[in-house]
Each structure stands twice: as C-alpha cells, then as structure tokens.
Amino acid sequence: MSRNSNLYVEIWKENLDKIIETIKNGGGEIPISRSKFEGVGDRQTYSFRLEVINTNVPRKNGQAQARDLKRVLDECVDFEEEAKGKTIIFRLTDDFKLEITIN
C-alpha cells in the first residue's frame, strides 16, 4: 500500500457508532469534522456518494474518503446486520455532512 492509503479510516471509525445509530433510526445526517479531513488529505472536494445494496459495498476507485468508509463498513458486523435487505446511500456533502438515506 502507498503511504496515502487509509488516510480517512480513523475519521470513519470515530463516527462509526453514529453511522450505525443513524441507520437503525431510518437515516439522517451526521456532521463530520472538516478540519480532520483537511488535516489528513489535500483535495479540492471531499464530497462523494456511495450506494450499498444488501450489505454489498461497491469498490470506489479514485475517492479515498469513500474507499476508506467502505473499508470500515466491510469490517463492521453491526453494519452488516443493519444493512441486510436494504439499499443505503451515503453522501458526504460539500459542507461536511454525511447524509444517510435508506430505501
């Protein structure tokens, strides 16, 4: 792995309990620390969209922040249980809110 891999993993791990709770509550929005993202990365934009279908988290190329969220979700048993049979859309907005929509 390059030295730039896993830059955002710790940020997602810090927010994992809130992510799982938001999924359990049917979706919502979680504020994410802009300074933490900017402290580890150097991007024009951090926004992304990640769609999870029935626990299948697709591979994300070129978006390290989405790829690292995928890595954290893939390792989380609670996420796997909550995501079964659902389509969950994660969207990190330009104002650093993680929107979670469940269908």
For the beta sheet containing 97-102, the strands, ordered from the edge strand earlier in sequence to the opposite edge, are 28-31, 97-102, 87-92, 48-53
Per-domain residue ranges of the chain: 9-102
Structure tokens at 102: 């469940």
| Residue 3 confidence (pLDDT) | 46
User: Which amino acid, one-letter code, is at 85?
Assistant: G
28 or 43, greater pLDDT: 28
Given a cut of 80, whether residue 5 has pLDDT beyond it is: no
Is 88 in contact with 73 (CB distance < 8 Å)? no
User: Rounded to two decimals, what is the model's pTM?
Assistant: 0.89
DSSP track, 65-78: HHHHHHHHHHT-HH
Q: Which residue has the tokens 């997602």?
A: 12
